[in-house]
Structure 1
């Protein structure tokens, strides 16, 4: 989670992130690769048989035919059992994901969907199944080495290798799924995704001069949904070619409907609709690609569910506060509120509103603070986290922290009548109670 500095936006970065949010692209691509691999292996086998027949090496053909015959039973077994194996494995996995989403938050399902090991495992399983079916079509009943025309030796070896790879991936997949059912790894994954968003943010230097006058607004014309991503590189390029500055009106995570303005044009005519195609992505749920507040939203949701009467798990809430404090500590020195995306010459071309420091503090602490009053373990950890952030923050950023600390103290004083219990609940402790 080291800060590697801001990364320049890439045109294909949103597409890559959107493909990671799907579960069909990797398996479909792997099926195509399996077919290509079979055609290549079949061509090698044909060339090998032709060469041996030309050399009249019938003994070698007989040896290869014996190996292929021995592996035929493996291929038949794999082709008949692989789909059943896939169904059982992923049925168990879906139950595990359902349990994790019920205990933590439904938004953790996206971690399973984005998991590389999950997609790779499914892809290799399907590729092994399809490849084994194709290999079966290469076997023939002819046993005379002088008349053999098809000898799937290389194909059989590749099938065995795919089976071995499937078994190794199955072990890794089960381990990954079991980690998804644990609170710590899930919180760590959410935190890492959030820190990646910090790494994609520009340096956010204030513009040298105010923006030109607003000359036009571009209305949204698609289906209603959550603004989940923008293609920063394409917007900067379109603004540079037009000689204007674009300003993104809604923030990432806002719900937009057709007819609402999404872009404001400053300093000239608006770019063409063609130049702005595929620059704004709207979907049914938020994604962590550029949404700075989405990680805190997930951590806060998990903490709220842990503090609910139905779950009553303050230790999980403390773990969430650990990560919330970690993120806010990293965001303390950053200039938040408005970021300026620049072109290659350093000119501001896109202005984007991001959550301010006060917004992030409120998102991380407000709802948790309201529910934490009856749980002394959480109040102690919350006070310790706020005190640590106050030490790190400058005078201009201590206001929201001091306000939340005062409100927490007032809430505990009203809810806990006993002085000794109240003093215990208001004693800062980084482990809560331990």
Structure 2
């Protein structure tokens, strides 16, 4: 069986699960959650205002002016609180997030600039910012609802529900602030950053198509290549493709589409991105928006992006400016973990089928050798000056040799031999060479 992957729904007649990249793109932005929160709070305020008006009308019909007078006095007290919250909230937001931006800048300089994505994708960060802005907008809206009358019979609205809602939003803001500080401090710790990168990598692995037996299927039998579809639009990194849409288009026109660049490749206008096999070329409007290009790589559908970040962290830790071999060992722990999860999975390409079971989209994936080189090559080149990293690297290679099938051991053995040769050249004393080439999962322990 070749290293190809096939998607197949649990039921042959059931439509495959939609894989729209929209959710991932929204997670990579910081504007959507605050904007949605401010729109929602405006709707909630409008509903609360209607309830307050209905409450005043009910009290006036019952001629319960004593209760209405008490509500007016409560509104005066609440107005002072709402005024204080309104004036302090924007200052609070500015101070908190200014400090956070400094912390993010320090983390990107110490670890890798690509870890900024972890802060941007953090749900608690977006929720805190969204609730803070929503609370500020709500206080402004509630202030417009206060009447300046003393006679309860002349009152048209008493913002009772709105004031209670404001106090609830303030309480929620304080709770989220505590959670936000805790989350930010966790993300500033290198072990937590490395763990988050590994978690995102495993999500990509979990979203990969489930391999099924294809003994009667010819991996190369895609039909004759009819044409290429060039990239239109700006140049940038291929972030992801809309798999469900491409499968639908290919099924409708009776063709097989093959993605030419891999996810994470840099594409320029005019560069071929799709090859059409076995039929007429689909119209351009049907393929518009199916290929997403951005300024940087994302986790979505990018199998090697997590390993790239882990290798960058290890390289920076081994640089003479930082000289932190323990961080490099922690990064290697996760590199070995990711490669162990991929050691027996089919790689090289993913074949996506339609609901009838016909192959409609072929997507290239990095192969096993490429992933091993990505995780170990650059770290191995800088590890010879650190016995701790050499020992951990050897232990990781030995563990992967036990897990990988025989046909995937060659790149692991190659890296092991290259590391031994590099240590022989850099360590002059035989005792130092023997010490550096002793496998140890904790480096030096």
Q: TM-score range by the shorter chain?
A: over 0.9
1:281-296 aligned at under 5 Å gives the runs 281-296=292-307
Out of 332, 335, 338, the position equivalent to 1:324 is 335
TM-score relative to the length of structure 2: 0.95
1:81-160 aligned at under 5 Å gives the runs 81-160=88-167
The structural deviation recorded for 1:10 is: 4.8
1:245-274, CA deviations, whole angstroms, 9 ceiling, x for partnerless residues?
Answer: 000000001000011100000000111112
The equivalent residue for 1:341 is 352
Q: Is the 8 A contact 1:373 1:379 kept in 2?
A: yes
The equivalent residue for 1:163 is 170
The gaps in structure 1 that reach 5 residues or longer are: none
1:176-233, CA deviations, whole angstroms, 9 ceiling, x for partnerless residues?
Answer: 1111110111111111111111111112445712211101110111111000110111
Are 1:56 and 2:67 counterparts? no
The structural deviation recorded for 1:63 is: 2.0
1:29-428 aligned at under 5 Å gives the runs 29-205=36-212, 206=214, 208-209=217-218, 210-428=221-439
Closer/same/farther in 2, CA of residues 268 and 7 from structure 1, 3 Å limit: closer
TM-score relative to the length of structure 1: 0.97
The structural deviation recorded for 1:11 is: 4.1
Q: Distance in 2 between matches of 1:429 and 1:380?
A: 5
Q: Is the 8 A contact 1:7 1:199 kept in 2?
A: no
Q: Distance in 2 between matches of 1:113 and 1:120?
A: 11
Closer/same/farther in 2, CA of residues 18 and 78 from structure 1, 3 Å limit: same
Q: Distance in 2 between matches of 1:85 and 1:6?
A: 49
1:69-111, CA deviations, whole angstroms, 9 ceiling, x for partnerless residues?
Answer: 2211110001111000000000000011011101000000011
The structural deviation recorded for 1:166 is: 0.2
Q: Is the 8 A contact 2:48 2:161 kept in 1?
A: yes
Q: Distance in 2 between matches of 1:7 and 1:111?
A: 32
1:263 alignment partner, SS class: strand
Q: Distance in 1 between matches of 2:19 and 2:395?
A: 42
Q: CA RMSD in A?
A: 1.4
Q: How many aligned positions are there?
A: 430
Closer/same/farther in 2, CA of residues 7 and 327 from structure 1, 3 Å limit: farther
